[in-house]
Amino acid sequence: VSRPSAKRRVSPRTVQRRSDALSTARILEAAIDILDEGDEGALTFRALAARLATGSGAIYWHVAGKDDLLAMAADHVIAAVTTRVTKLSKPRDAIRTLAGGVFDAIEAHPWVGGQLSRDPWQNAVLRLLEAIGQCVQALGIPDEKQFHAASALMNFILGLAAQYAAQVRLRETDRSAVLAMTAARWMELDPGTYPFVRRVAAQLAEHDDREQFIAGIELILRGIQTGRSVS
Amino acid sequence: VSRPSAKRRVSPRTVQRRSDALSTARILEAAIDILDEGDEGALTFRALAARLATGSGAIYWHVAGKDDLLAMAADHVIAAVTTRVTKLSKPRDAIRTLAGGVFDAIEAHPWVGGQLSRDPWQNAVLRLLEAIGQCVQALGIPDEKQFHAASALMNFILGLAAQYAAQVRLRETDRSAVLAMTAARWMELDPGTYPFVRRVAAQLAEHDDREQFIAGIELILRGIQTGRSVS
DNA sequence: ACCTGAACACCGTTCAAGT
DNA sequence: ACCTGAACACCGTTCAAGT
């Protein structure tokens, strides 16, 4: 947000404690590194302080607390997605690209999934809602239905975020192995109470998450536009 | 909420430590009470032990840990929804009722929202997927598309869960006041970068969450059925 | 078999004290 | 103005010891 560290330096010869001073930007960068390397629980003010070679309390001078830090980190990742996407010609393509971009961002930074589903009015979510809303508007949906349509898409994307976040929480093994395991577990469910889940267990192992997610977006778009002409 | 003291008493003269022995069921009940009274963070093994008049370690004899306990609690709440709904005549009505039931359950027990979006393969989620899947099947969707359709609906519902969970995390004030506050904050955003959000801010204050959620479900259903005839 | 509760290894956050 | 790091008030979980 602010960059007080951009200051050039003042006098030579005095050895500084670190190569550069602490700053919100440096803290944010270190936090994202820690989150990417470990899981959600790896981000600790002690770990962060160690990586930045400072005391844990120093961080509080630049950042309000852990929630603030996480919100900023998620916003940083999502901002990269929305700014890259907004300027596409066909609004339907823009939405597709946007959704795919969120998927990829969460895949690359799984902790973002958890963070997005923690506070629906954090900056990252607002950014997404705005991007989606602009696309919906460009789609030619009547004014009164735009909020409705955008929030349905937003809700669906947050659902992905939650699902993906949790999915990664049980990893270590790779993705397909986890899916195969889950499919196997589903097959062992009681056929009387879980007929449907058992039946789709086979499809689970071979399905493509990303494809399925985009198809879901497609589905909602179809519903939005059908609704426009029908209702 | 519960009145464990209402137990009559068993034999006179021998004072029992508690009126009845510890059990998974009693622990679960106490946990749900604590979660309903406080927020998500109120459930502590120390608080739980205090309420059950036992040591914190005793709980581990009946329950694997906190994650296990939360998953069981959420499953308890969701099971009440799914078993109540399954037997409706028209599958579209069943889905509507199911979705509404989940909404109401999360409204009554906000912590369920957070828990649902924590582990996508916990029992509660499986239960929902099964219920949704059975409805989708009854809808007459072709076999290969059922998994797809059901998971889109599931994803949307999980999105609600996440959103609602977070929404409640910032309460204390009542609902409409929070919405009014958020709307006010949205109005102050930069018109250049947040034109859409600013424009819908007014609608936010007067909108009905539940109605909007059900309308979203409707939208997806429309997309599912349109897709069937079109694609 | 079941329960107790002190102890362990952590957290986020604060704050007097330093430079 | 900015940083330090011990201290505070918590966690979930374990485990020797009790009944």
State the Cα–Cα distance between residues B96 and A231, nearest whole angstrom. 18
pLDDT at B7: 32
Res A3: pLDDT = 33
- pLDDT, residue A170, reads 60
Pair of tokens at residue B25: 């069921």
The residues of the protein lying within 7 Å (CB) of strand D read A 4, 17, 21-22, 53-58, 60-62; B 43-47, 56-57, 60, 65-67
The average confidence (pLDDT) of chain A is 85
Please indicate whether, in this complex, the C-beta atoms of B130 and A223 are within 8 angstroms of each other: no
Percentage of chain B exceeding pLDDT 90:
64
Neighboring chain B residues of A149 at a CB cutoff of 8 Å: 219
Position B117 confidence tier, pLDDT thresholds 50, 70, 90? confident
- Interface probe, candidates B128, B169, B196, B225, chain A, greatest A C-beta count within 10 A: B196
> Each residue of B71-97: b (16+ CB within 10 Å) or e?
bbbbbbbbeebbeebeebeebeebbbb
pLDDT in tens, A7-58: 333 333 333 345 568 999 999 999 999 999 998 899 999 999 999 999 999 9
The residue whose CA lies nearest the C1' of nucleotide D15 is B57
Asked if B200 lies within 8 A of A133 by C-beta distance, the reply is yes
Q: Which value, to the nearest 10 degrees, does the dihedral of the CA atoms of residues B140, B141, B147, B149 take?
A: -110
Band of pLDDT at residue B171, cut at 50, 70 and 90: low
Question: A223 to chain B, minimum CA–CA distance in Å?
Answer: 4
Residue B144: what pLDDT? 87
Give residue A85's pLDDT.
84
Work out the pLDDT band at B21, boundaries 50, 70, 90.
Answer: confident
**Quick check: helix, strand or coil at residue B174?**
coil
How many whole angstroms separate alpha carbon B44 and alpha carbon B40? 9
CB-CB neighbors (< 8 A) of A165 in chain B: 117
In the predicted structure, residue B169 carries a pLDDT above the cut 60? yes
pLDDT at B180: 84
Q: What average pLDDT does range A214-229 have in this prediction?
A: 86
Which string of b and e fits B7-46 if b means at least 16 CB within 10 Å? Answer: eeeeeeeeeeeeeeebeeebbbbbbbbbbbeebbeebebe
pLDDT band at A89 (very low <50, low <70, confident <90, very high): confident
Residues 137-196 of B with CB under 8 A from A: 137, 144, 146-152, 154-163, 165-167, 169-170, 182, 185-186, 189, 193-196
Statement: residue B10 has pLDDT above 70: no
Q: At B143, which amino acid appears?
A: D
Q: What is the pLDDT of residue B130?
A: 96
Whether residue B120 has pLDDT greater than 70: yes
Nucleotides of C under 7 A from a protein CB: 2-7, 10-16
- Residues A63, A27 contacting (CB under 8 angstroms): yes
| Predicted pLDDT at B194 | 96
Query: Is pLDDT of B14 > 50?
Result: no
A130-187 pLDDT, tens digit each = 999 999 999 999 988 999 999 999 999 999 888 877 676 665 556 677 778 889 999 9
- Res A1 pLDDT > 50: no
pLDDT tens by residue, B33-64: 999 999 889 999 999 999 999 999 999 999 99
Mean pLDDT of the B152-177 span:
78
Q: Give the residue among A196, A127, A192, A191 at the shortest CA–CA distance from A157.
A: A127
* Least confident stretch, A162-166, B120-124, B183-187: A162-166
Q: Mind listing the pLDDT tens digit for each residue in B205-228?
A: 888 889 999 999 999 999 998 865
